[in-house]
Amino acid sequence: MSDLTTPLPDAPAIEVENLECGYEGEVVLSNVSLTIARGEVFFIIGGSGCGKSTLLRHMVGLNRPTKGSVKFFGQPFSAADPASRRAQLRTFGMLFQSGALWTSLTLRQNVALPLEEYTTLTKREVEELATLKLAQVGLGGFEDYYPAEISGGMKKRAGLARALALDPAIVFFDEPSAGLDPVTSRKLDELILQVRENFGTTIVVVSHELASIFSIADRVVMLDRGAKGVIAEGRPVELADHSRDPRVSEFLRRVERPTQ
């Protein structure tokens, strides 16, 4: 691998500097800067329409920022050449809000897709590894099921198995608890922590769910629609207890925090 894609040993997992995000000339977020440490569970939070998913999409390259930069492990990503970007794509996975599974493929076939795209493994090796990844998220025995045949929580687990297929150093989650009941949501939170503990994975989560924020987040940044950027950063409990910004305290105190 070239010097432009080799991770720097002392660099943080992610560095975002002065990022400007938007669509069709409309600025949604401006001057966003943040640093995420390796192995951290980091949440991007805020109310509806504040730009959480927009920031995530620009960080992972689904949309190009109009200004600023994104680095993974010290190496440029947003401004990298196509070959370097493709190499860096192997370092992270993503779980979309709906799971984003192909309905015409079995769970094993869905998980196999990135393995077929980015590796030279044989068909048998791909199938064996896809089966292993499904087992790691608690879906052993469901390899030949189709997405329509499983529950919403199981779809999220299958999507996570696919996100983990290439053993990424970073996994991004876009509203992972959306559409889930509280018990299933809590189990998914526990699975996210297991992924971090077992593999040292850096976790980045877009969410507005207080139960998840207070249960598993090491740090958060809070975005605000009016400010078009970050209005708070830190540990969620400290922000809830000590922030003097009414927007922050109102968001984080809107229901009682769960006992840890």
In one-letter notation, the amino acid at residue 79 is A
With a cut of 60, say whether residue 258 has pLDDT above it: no
pLDDT in tens, 173-183: 999 988 888 99
pLDDT digits (tens, 9 = 90+) for 4-41: 556 677 899 999 999 999 888 789 999 999 999 999 99
pLDDT at 3 over 70: no
Rounded Cα gap, residues 207 and 201, in angstroms? 18
Residue 23, pLDDT score:
87
pLDDT at 255: 60
Q: Which of 11, 30, 28 is nearest to 20 (CA)?
A: 30
Q: Are strands 75-76 and 26-36 parallel, antiparallel or unpaired?
A: unpaired
C-alpha to C-alpha distance for 191 and 189, rounded to whole angstroms: 5
For 6, left (φ over 0), alpha (ψ -120 to 50), or beta?
A: beta
| Contacts with 44 (C-beta within 8 Å, 6 or more apart), sequence order | 52, 55, 56, 204, 205, 206, 207, 220, 221, 223
* Alpha-carbon gap, residue 114 to 120, rounded angstroms: 11
- Give pLDDT tens digits for 158-167: 999 999 999 9
What is the model's pTM? 0.90
CA atoms within 13 A on the CB side of 210: 16
Q: How far apart are CA 27 and CA 18, in angstroms?
A: 13
* Sign of the alpha-carbon dihedral angle for 24, 52, 9, 1: negative
C-alpha distances out from residue 117 to 34, 59, 110, 123, Å: 31, 22, 12, 12
At 1, the pLDDT band (50, 70, 90 cuts) reads very low
Residue 33's Cβ-side half-sphere holds a number of Cα atoms within 13 Å equal to 4
Number of Cβ within 10 Å of residue 50's Cβ equals 25
